């Protein structure tokens, strides 16, 4: 859906002109600026600000007013350029001639010219801004419960005493049935998460030794695993023996005496076991593996944000919101070390209900 708008930013306005995303979905707006305005004593410039002043004026300002950039309303932006500040997040974006800014529903940008505070009342002219937006619908990966999975490299999984696995899941209406949503094996379970099993129980198996693994499990309500997006985080500290399951940022279940460390697996799979056809049925996104035990606070703060791939202790991160085709093979990419996962049967689908843009 294309959206258009037009407005003017007066040079005299220190508070700015507001632009709000009134759409019910996230929109990527491209703002294009035109026209000129006049700065007292320095003459005419465009929305690009200082670089658009004549070269003589630029040289004079630099020589006679060396700290002029620090005197601007936004010292970190180009002097006299058009900027936009998100009134929700506080983030300031330099617009200049053209910029694309993503706005969530209800978010407002305040457009203003980056002038010295005392010069706003004496400045003249306006900058015209044309806005063109396209609704942004999040994409996720859908598993149909019949042969769909993603194989990722063994080094995607942290080893040793500390691990956290986190992801968003939206199970299909056909659940509960026998499923494994994350699985790693080395002559037996290294990591296995049933979400759920056919009995409606969430099983978290982690760590192995002589074919024996640690397990905690709890029966779940249907709303916990199907027909809506739910955030899950599974942690283990083999040093203390504690395993914890978090549901939507809340501590949901835990167990003690679980001291088996995580061995390096031979295979790791998203969406099924490698040894049995326990295919997940539903949508998945934002799969992340950490070599630390995330705290409840860390889980709550991070669950509604896209990761950058540079977070401390993040071993691998699979957003599952895009795939690349290498020859005839569709693949997903890890955002930490650019590892590649191979897709079998899984499709990419738009889902406006996914809570992260």
Q: pLDDT confidence of 246, banded at 50, 70, 90?
A: very high
Query: Please, is 217 exposed, middle or buried when counting C-beta atoms within 10 Å of its C-beta (0-12, 13-18, 19+)?
Result: middle
pLDDT in tens, 107-126: 999 999 999 999 999 999 99
pLDDT in tens, 138-149: 899 999 999 999
Number of Cβ within 10 Å of residue 62's Cβ equals 12
Three-state SS string over the chain comes to CEEEEEEEEECCCCCCEEEECCCCCCEEEEEEEECCEEECCCEEECCCCHHHCCHHHHHHHHHHCCCHHHHECCCCCCCCCEEEEECCCCCEEECCCEEEEEECCCCEEEEEECCEHHHCCCCEEEEEEEEEEEECCCEEEEEECCCCEEEECHHHCCCECEEEEEEEEEECCCCCCCCCCEEEECCCEEEEEECCCCCCEEEEEEEEECCEEEEEEEECCHHHCCCCCEEEEEEEECCCCEEEEEECCEEEEEECCCCCCECCCCEEEECCCCCCCCCCEEEEEEEEEECCCCCHHHHHHHCCCCCCCCCCCEEEEECCCCCEEECCEEEEECCCCCCEEEEECCEEEECCCCCCC
Number of Cβ within 10 Å of residue 210's Cβ equals 8
| Per-chain mean pLDDT for the chain | 94
pLDDT of residue 3: 83
Q: pLDDT confidence of 30, banded at 50, 70, 90?
A: very high
- List 124's β-bridge partners, or say none: 38
- CB of 331 closer than 8 Å to CB of 342: yes
pLDDT in tens, 267-281: 999 999 998 999 999
pLDDT at 56 over 60: yes
- CB of 176 closer than 8 Å to CB of 198: yes
Task: Compute, in degrees rounded to 10, the torsion defined by CA atoms 283, 288, 293, 296.
Answer: -50
Number of Cβ within 10 Å of residue 155's Cβ equals 15
pLDDT of residue 188: 81
Comparing 48-62, 156-170, 200-214, 289-303, the range with the smallest average pLDDT is 200-214
Q: pLDDT confidence of 135, banded at 50, 70, 90?
A: confident
pLDDT at 2 over 60: no
pLDDT of residue 189: 87
Give the residue among 115, 96, 106 at the shortest CA–CA distance from 15.
115
pLDDT in tens, 185-243: 988 889 999 999 999 999 999 998 667 899 999 999 999 999 999 999 999 999 999 99
pLDDT in tens, 11-26: 999 999 999 999 877 8
pLDDT at 302 over 90: yes
pLDDT at 55 over 80: yes
Cα dist from 351 to 168, 222, 282, whole Å: 13, 20, 12
- Sequence-distant (≥ 6) Cβ neighbours of residue 212 within 8 angstroms: 188, 260
Structure tokens at 178: 């026998």
Give the residue among 138, 103, 120 at the shortest CA–CA distance from 5.
103
Q: pLDDT confidence of 1, banded at 50, 70, 90?
A: very low
pLDDT of residue 209: 66
pTM for the full predicted model: 0.71
Structure tokens at 15: 């508070």
Tell me the C-alpha distance between 38 and 120, whole Å.
10
- CB of 262 closer than 8 Å to CB of 159: yes
pLDDT at 294 over 80: yes
- Sequence-distant (≥ 6) Cβ neighbours of residue 116 within 8 angstroms: 68, 71, 72, 73
Tell me the C-alpha distance between 163 and 191, whole Å.
10
Q: pLDDT confidence of 323, banded at 50, 70, 90?
A: confident
């Amino acid at each position: 859906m294309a959206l258009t708008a037009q407005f003017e930013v007066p040079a005299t306005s220190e508070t700015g002109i507001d632009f709000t995303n009134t759409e019910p979905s996230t929109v990527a707006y491209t703002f294009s600026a035109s026209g000129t305005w006049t700065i007292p004593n320095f003459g005419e410039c465009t929305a690009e600000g200082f670089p658009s002043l004549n070269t003589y004026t630029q040289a004079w300002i630099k020589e006679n007013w060396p700290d002029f950039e620090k005197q601007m309303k936004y010292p970190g932006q180009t002097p006299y350029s058009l900027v936009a500040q998100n009134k929700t997040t506080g983030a300031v974006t330099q617009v200049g001639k053209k910029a694309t800014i993503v706005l969530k529903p209800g978010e407002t940008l305040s457009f203003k010219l980056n002038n010295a505070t005392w010069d706003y009342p004496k400045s003249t002219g306006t900058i015209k801004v044309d806005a063109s937006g396209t609704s942004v619908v999040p994409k996720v990966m859908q598993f149909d419960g019949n042969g769909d999975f993603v194989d990722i490299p063994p080094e995607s999984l942290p080893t040793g005493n500390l691990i956290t696995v986190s992801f968003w899941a939206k199970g299909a209406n056909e659940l509960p049935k026998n499923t494994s949503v994350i699985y790693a094996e080395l002559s037996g379970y290294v990591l296995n998460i049933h979400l759920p099993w056919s009995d409606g129980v969430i099983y978290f198996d982690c760590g192995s030794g002589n074919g024996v693994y640690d397990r905690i499990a709890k029966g779940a309500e249907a709303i916990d695993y199907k027909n809506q997006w739910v955030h899950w985080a599974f942690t283990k500290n083999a040093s203390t023996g504690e395993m914890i399951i978090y549901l939507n940022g809340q501590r949901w279940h835990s167990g003690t005496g679980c001291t088996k460390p995580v061995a390096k697996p031979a295979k790791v799979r998203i969406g099924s076991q490698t040894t049995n056809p326990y295919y997940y049925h539903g949508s998945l996104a934002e799969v992340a593996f950490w070599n630390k035990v995330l705290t409840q606070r860390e889980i709550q703060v991070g669950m509604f944000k896209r990761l950058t791939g540079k977070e401390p202790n993040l071993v691998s991160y699979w957003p599952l919101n895009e795939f690349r085709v290498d020859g005839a093979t569709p693949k997903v990419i890890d955002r930490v070390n650019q590892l590649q996962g191979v897709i079998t049967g899984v499709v990419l689908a738009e889902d406006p209900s996914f809570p992260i843009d």
